[in-house]
Chain A
């Protein structure tokens, strides 16, 4: 249900935590399509870790989804 209100000041005292989420697209398209999934995944982690702005990198699966590496490829 969506409602419009002008002020939510009255709720502030009950806020435990608040987050802003922004979502977007960033497709990595391998130049060599025969590259294996593990190599690609490791390269991605290495690439992200190579930046001094990246403090930490780790992996996490959504609840109920497999923990082992899975790669789904969708051709559009």
Chain B
């Protein structure tokens, strides 16, 4: 499946689809691997999962026993869910990593009394990656309605996050390509300088290749710059959106961390490419000058030989 997508069409269905999935423990391979590393015997396994889906964004929900260790099971559900969707030939399934998000969102519904009043409405990170919200039990009249409302409250901003990841992938593709071309350029100049003077054909072929590579390089620099500007604009917009999202604002640091990217110094790269261009031009001029000199000498020799010959005949 394509996980490095750069352009997407995103559908969003209303109403949402809710799937009740029963996944036997023996089929939860990722969970079983996790269990083999877990030391505690007291693991809360479940075989019942709910998936809420709008055609683009999905939510996997499972009930947890708060007194036990638990494995999310969401990676196994992701595999099952994706394999079901991939069976249909009407569409292509595309996904943008990270799927699911690394963070566990844990919703704890508490009995309302004087003691819990202090904590209800607050949230905390029990450990990095586990974001817990404490909510009053009264908001959980219907679990499925809560799940659907939750997805509705995050889907737009989460989709914007994934769109931004797509833009980041585009920037990274240009960056990787630029780095590759830059290495090719250097080796091409070396090759050009090592070519023997008399090897005209190979020299001209290499020179042509170098010219094409330089023009490709400049076009990638432009595309990279444009994509980078667009990405930074979208990240700015995403920051604003996340700040206002009741649930996702607590995950903004983690989400923005996913969008960190290595930048190329475009000015330095352009200077370097211009330098390579100059070397190539100088090498070409030197060769042409040398060739012209040699031809002049040969011409003079032939000329004097012809003059001598004509004189001797006359």
Contact = CB atoms under 8 A, between A and B. Distances in A.
A44 B140 CA distance: 28
B246 interface: no
Nearest to B162: A25
Contacts of B5: 27
Nearest to A7: B126
Contacts of A30: 9, 11, 90-91
| Interface size of B as a range | 35 or more
B247 to A, nearest CB: 9
A9 B75 CA distance: 27
Contact of B95 (A14, A25, A47): A25
A21 B135 CA distance: 14
B22 A55 contact: yes
A51 B82 CA distance: 11
Nearest to B48: A55
A70 B239 CA distance: 28
Interface size class of A (residues with CB under 8 A): 35 or more
Contacts of A69: 13-15
Contact of A2 (B63, B91, B99, B124): B124
Contacts of B218: none
Given A14-B111, A20-B62, A35-B90, A51 B84 contact: yes
A23 B105 CA distance: 9
A46 to B, nearest CB: 8
Contact of B21 (A21, A53, A59): A53
A59 B107 contact: no
Interface stretch (B34-42, B49-57, B290-298, B302-310): B49-57
Interface in A12-69: 12, 14-33, 35, 40-41, 43-45, 47-48, 50-51, 53-63, 65-67, 69
Interface string B3-39: 0010111111111111111110001000000000000
A11 B152 CA distance: 29
Contacts of B20: 54-57
A22 B99 CA distance: 9
B133 to A, nearest CB: 9
A71 B11 contact: yes
13 contacts: A5-B124, A8-B66, A8-B132, A25-B162, A26-B53, A26-B58, A29-B92, A43-B88, A48-B17, A59-B15, A61-B15, A62-B151, A74-B159
